[in-house]
Structures are given as structure tokens and as C-alpha cells.
Structure 1
């Protein structure tokens, strides 16, 4: 196990231990009207984040929680690592690139000073709304892969995730969680706000959108398109290696090495349409109506193929 993975696992283990000690009312804090988990974020971190300087060759992945960002984040890291072997001037990404916790808004206030010393290309993940990212991300035209997933599967995955992870609020019933999800009282805010705000950037040249469902249906095509978007210039053999290593089964089997005990929580099912095990007619009606009101007619809403993936 590389030193970077040990650091990653140590950070998660500490967050889970700290979360288990906090009373429920102290698990979350609000910053600019959005809730965040107190064991991994803080107002001071967000203030420090404002001075973060993005690079034009940074590899960003943006996605709402439980949209598949850990999965696609590993794909991106694997692609960048595979590409780096062709550049003799690039330091070993196995030990350097992953030294910081990959989510931009998670860590300590000195994180961004350390990140400034990391070699290019940096792989950076985030759950933040576009307007809450540092201004340098858009100013320097860093490329962003936007990952979206149908809201019913996001909600279902988030429900199980929350109840299995001590730093997040737990819910006695699915109905209780569903109410919080629909009202946006969630870590990192409202799903519908997230997709709506990112829809404003759907035509930006430095933003590529991919859906979780499309990547599940044709992982090989998706990985190739992602590689081309970031101009990584990989061989077909390199691409196929990333595809093989990024199957759900392969990642689940390797999760103890990559994520420690957290991997048992993170890699649960990794499928499509699990929502059918929880949603009843009332939930479907409320979700269908809200989706149409908030995202109907938007480009991202169309990309999500709601009628295919979310209709009972």
C-alpha cells in the first residue's frame, strides 16, 4: 500500500471515529446556507479555499454526493497515472498525487498550500456548487468532468450511506430521509439545486458531462471519451487496462487496500434502479413532480433520461 493510500485511510478512520463521538446535533454545520459534515469540513477551510489557485491542466471531477464520484475519481486517477509514465519529468503520482485527500473542500486549512507544491496533473474531486468553487477554477479554464446520476438512485444510495457512516446524520426511516432529501437538508445541499446550477455551465468548453448510467452501460466508451477530453493521449492498451480495473467488482475486491474499512460502506451495490426497493407511489409522485418543476427542459435534465431510469 502506498503512503498516499495510508494517509487517505487514516483520514477517513479519524473522521468516522470523531463522528461516532459527536451528538447528532453537532454532526453538521451550515456555511452560506448549505450543510456540511463537521468532521471533514469547517468554515475556516472554506475561507482558506478562496485563495486556492487552480491550474489550467488540473483534472477536476464534480458530482453531487452518491453520484459515483469515488468510482469515477479512481478512473480519472488511473488515467492520469497511466498518462504520466510517458512524461519523464513527472514525479510518481502513486505517492505524490494522492497525498492530499482528493476532495477539494475536505481537509485542513493548510491543505491548499501543500497542494500548490504537488506536480501536475492534479486530480481534484468536489461536491461543491459551481459558484462555491474558487474563482480561479473558471478563470484559468481548468477542465471539469461533471458527473450526474438519476435522483432516485442518488437518494437511495445516500440513505444507506448516511446510516452506515458515523460523520453523517442517520435516519430512523426511509420516509424521514426522503423528506430531508426533497427539502435539500442534506450534506452538500440540494440535489436539484446542484444539477440546476451546473446546468448553467453545460455548454462551457472546459466542462464535459457524463451520466453514471451511460458509464455503467458502456464503460469502455466512457473511459475513452474522458481520456480524450483531458487530452491524456493514451494507447488502446492503456485505456483497456483502466476499463478492466474500474469494474465495480474489481474495485470492491480492492477496496480494503484503497479505502480501508470505509470501502465496505462505499462499494455497496453500484447498480442502476435500486430505488425500486424503497420508493412507493407517494415518493414517486413527489420526486417526479419536483424533477419536472426544477429540471424539466434543461439540458442536464434531458441527459439524465428520467423517463427511462426513474419511471415506475
Structure 2
């Protein structure tokens, strides 16, 4: 009788344990399904408008939402629209030049702060974060007033300074984490082995933080391409970028259909750059893991 009761208790415990495991598995499965569904919903909200824009860039109709068959007509119109092409060229020039200069300044600033004393480091880091949290309209107005006080006429140079002020902090914030991950003694070790300061910088420090530099450069270009407020306040009247050109046209006419083709080209280029950087970073990470595995 005792043995029978013991067996029944064991069976009950086993059954309850099995039920608990099944319930936990169902709960985990539900969580995974919910998490994946939420992720796909966010991706859908982010990229569905872009997908619609890309699809309707390959049609003859000037009206968005009206499909008249597959065509490259809007791309032909884009390259024939001299005003829009000039604005595109101006946008790319200011974006690339400001991104290059911001990347150089932001990287050098991050390296300098990283190797500086703690007291000055905290002060610089505090001021570096201000452009990130500061409203862009405040930044644009302050720069416009500054140039007026200095009696400087608005030109490509003033616009370039404005874009650099906007983007240099983002470069700094992308390079800084890579420096924090790096051994701070490798620079001094290179100097002890006879390397010059510049050689140590370019051959030892920069390769370690290259992914952060690429990320900062890409963000700088993206912010510059997208900027309207600073450009509107600091550009010369005859200088137009994509954002100011569209704003000027929309004030009197509907948005040109060619903008869909231009937006598609810019999206594809940015996507290709992002994928290239991701592949590069993954390959570098795999090399590091293989090197550590051999050790």
C-alpha cells in the first residue's frame, strides 16, 4: 500500500513538472512571437513609406498612387531637370566636404580628450554633448547672428561651418566608445618601441577606432543631406540644396515627381554604404575572434 502511494506521488510530481515545463515553454513561445511581431511592425512602419516611394518611382504617372506601368520616365526627367540636378550637386558637395572635415576634427578631438586629464576631459565631454541635445533652430539662429556681428556675408563657407557644427559632435560620440574599448597603453608602447607620434597615431590608434570613424562619417553625411534649418539660415540666396529647393517649389507648386527618383537613388546609395560598413565590421570581428582563438 505504501509503495503504491509512493508511486502515485511520483507520478503526480512528474505530471505536475511536465505541465509546468509545457506552460513555461508556451509562455516563452508567446513572448518570442510577440517580440518578432513587434519587431516586424516597427520595420513595416519605418520602411513601408520608403518602399512605396521606390515602387512609384518606376512609373510614368506624376501623381503618387497612380500606377500606369513600369517605366524609367521619372529618372529621365530627373536628369533633365537642371535646377534639381544643381541642387543635388550642391547638397552632395556640402555633405561630403563637411563630413570629411567633421570626421577629422571629431576624431582628433576624441583622441585628444581620451588621452587628456580627467578634469579637462569631463568639461570637454559636457560641452561636446550640447550640440546633440540643443535644438537645431537655436544653433542656426546663433550662427546667423554671429556671422552678422562679424559682418560676414552668407556663403558656402558659412554654410560649411554650420554643417560642421551640426555634425562634429556625432563623430566624437561615435569614436569615443571605440577608444574606450581600446587598450590606452598601446600608444605609449608604440612610442617606447621607437615609433614616432604620427606613425603611432596612424598605424596603431586609428586602425583600432576605424569602425567608429566610418560610423561618424556616415552619420555626418546623413545629417547634412537631411538638413534644412541651418542651410536655410546660412546659405547665400542663389545657393540651393535638395531640401531648400523642394521647400521653395512646394510653396508654389506640387512636389516634382522626379523627387521620387532622386529619393530612391539616395536611399540605394546610403543602403549600399551601410551594408558595406556592416560587412567590413563583421569581417574584422571574425578576424579578431580567429586571432584570439589561435592564442
TM-score (norm 2): 0.25
User: Which structure's CA Rg is the greater one?
Assistant: 2
TM-score (norm 1): 0.24
> Is the helix fraction higher in 1 or 2?
2
